[in-house]
Structure 1
Amino acid sequence: MSKKYSKFLPSADQYDIEQFPYYWVTQVHAQYVQNVDQALKKYGLDNSRRRILLALRSKAHASVSDLSDMVVSKMSTTTKIVYRLKDEGLVETYSCDDDARITRVVLTEKGNEMTNKINDLTSVVLEQSFDGLTPLQIEKMMESLRHIFNNLAR
C-alpha cells in the first residue's frame, strides 16, 4: 500500500474515522437524503422516487435499464419504483418500437408538475448544504468527486 494515502485509510495503529474520506461522503449523502425525504413528505414522495423522476426529466423516454444506471440502482429495484410511479400517475411506460423487451418510461403532465415541486423543495436543502461555500469551491468539489468516480468505475 502506498504511504501517500496512508493517513486517510483505516489502520491498526492509528485510526480516526473522520480522516477516512468515504466516511464524509456517506455522512453527507445520508444527511442529504434525510433532509430531502423530510421535505418530500409534503407530497407523499421519497428520495428513491425523486431520483427516478429527476432522471427522467434529464433523459426523456429512458429505458428502465438507463434509469437504473443513472440512479445507480439494481434493475429490479428501479422497475419496482417505476411501476409505483406509474400507479401514482407520474409516469407512463411503453415497449420500445425497435425491441419490445425494452420498456421505456416517460413523465406524465402530473410527473412534470411534480418535478417542478421537487426542485422547489430540494433547492432549499441545496442552499442549506452549500451555505458558506463559493460557486468555485462547489465546482472544484464536483470535479474531484467526478474524478474519484471515474477512478472507481475503471
Structure 2
Amino acid sequence: MSKKYSKFLPTTEDFNLEDFPFYWITQVHAQYVLNVDHVLKKYGVDNSRRRLLIALESQPNASVSDLSDKIVSKMSTTTKIVYRLKEEGFVNTYSCLDDARITRVILTESGKQMTRKINDLMAVILEQSFEGLTTLQIEKMMESLKHIFKNLSH
C-alpha cells in the first residue's frame, strides 16, 4: 500500500474514523434510506421497491437481470422485489419474445402513478440533502462517486 492513501485507512495509531471515506459514504446512504423510508411509509413502499420502480422508469421493458445490475442487487433479491411489486399491481412481467428464458418487466399505470409520487417526495429529500451546495459541487461529487464505483466494479 502506498503512503498516498494511508491517512484514510485505520492502520495508524492516530486514526480517526471520520477520516475514512467509506464511513461517510455509508453514513450518508444510511441517513438517506432512513429519510426515504420515512416519507414512503405513507404509500406502503420501501426503499427497495422505490429503487426498482425508478430503475424501471428509466429503462422500460428491462429484464430482471438488467434491473439487478442497475440497482446493484443480487438476481434473487431483484426477482423477489419484482414479484412483490407485481402482487401489489405496480409492475407486470412477460417472457421476452426473442428468448423465453428472459423475463421483462413493465410499469403498470398504477406503477407509473406511484413512481410520480415517489419522484415528488424524492425532490424534497434531494433539496434537503444538497442545501448549501452549488450545482458544480454536486456535479463534481457525482463525478468522483462514479469514478470510485468504476474502480470498485473491476
Which category describes the TM-score, using the shorter chain as reference length? over 0.9
1:4-153 equivalences under 5 Å are: 4-153=4-153
Mind listing any 5+ residue stretches in structure 2 that lack a counterpart? none
Q: Distance in 2 between matches of 1:8 and 1:15?
A: 8
Q: Distance in 2 between matches of 1:74 and 1:152?
A: 16
* 1:42, distance to aligned residue in structure 2 (A): 1.1
Report % sequence identity: 74
Could you say what secondary structure the match of 1:125 adopts? helix
Superposition TM-score, scaled by structure 1 size: 0.98
Q: Distance in 1 between matches of 2:111 and 2:153?
A: 31
Letter in 1 for 2:150: N
1:35-59 deviations in Å (ceiling 9; x for gaps): 0000001100000000000000000
Letter in 2 for 1:49: R
* 1:14, distance to aligned residue in structure 2 (A): 2.2
* 1:12, distance to aligned residue in structure 2 (A): 4.4
CA RMSD of aligned residues (A): 0.7
Mind listing any 5+ residue stretches in structure 1 that lack a counterpart? none
Could you say what secondary structure the match of 2:92 adopts? strand
- Counting matched residue pairs gives 154
1:2 partnered with 2:2? yes
Superposition TM-score, scaled by structure 2 size: 0.98
